[in-house]
Amino acid sequence: MSLKDAAKAVRENAYAPYSKFKVGAAIRAASGTVYVGCNVENVAYPEGTCAEAGAIAAMAAAGETRITEAFVIAGAALPVTPCGGCRQKLAEFCTPDVRVTMATTGGVEQVMTMAELLPGAFGPAHMEE
């Protein structure tokens, strides 16, 4: 299944009774396996989690740590770009050249690299003395 179809399908399972804004994310890991996630909201609003975070958790749980491609889809007029926190989460497992496709359910797509999404990312090198 393509990343797009995987993201579209998992979006249907998004639990978003508060925002009504369903998001699906699919990431391809180094092995070629596709991992998916959807947003899961909570009545205690800050406890909700983004679609990207769910996909990353599924990948890590399966024992993988390298993302080669990502796809995010939502039902909006403009392609939804990952939130700031998710950019940092993605950057942990992506090289700067990894392509992230942002799409609307209506068919609009925008592609950006990880470096474009999070320029000047905080990384392990910043922790060196």
Q: Mind telling me the catalytic residues?
A: 52
**Alpha-carbon distances, residue 14 vs 8, 22, 89, 128 (angstroms):** 10, 5, 19, 39
Among 6, 23, 34, 58, binds ligand THU (CB under 6 A): 23
Hey, what are 56's tokens? 């990353």
Instruction: Decide whether 36 or 86 has the Cβ nearer to ligand THU.
Output: 86
Hey, what are 92's tokens? 């942990």
Among 4, 9, 13, 16, binds ligand THU (CB under 6 A): 16
Instruction: Decide whether 64 or 71 has the Cβ nearer to ligand THU.
Output: 71
The single residue listed with the structure tokens 């994310």 is 25
Among 3, 6, 56, 86, binds ligand THU (CB under 6 A): 86
Instruction: Decide whether 72 or 91 has the Cβ nearer to ligand THU.
Output: 72
d(CA 35, CA 52): 10
Hey, what are 102's tokens? 């942002």
Among 27, 36, 41, 98, binds ligand THU (CB under 6 A): 41
**Alpha-carbon distances, residue 49 vs 4, 55, 111 (angstroms):** 21, 11, 23
d(CA 53, CA 87): 10
Could you say which residues in the range 48-77 bind ligand THU, by CB under 6 A?
48, 50-52, 72
Contact footprint for ligand THU (CB under 6 A): 16, 19, 21, 23, 39, 41, 48, 50-52, 72, 80, 82-83, 86
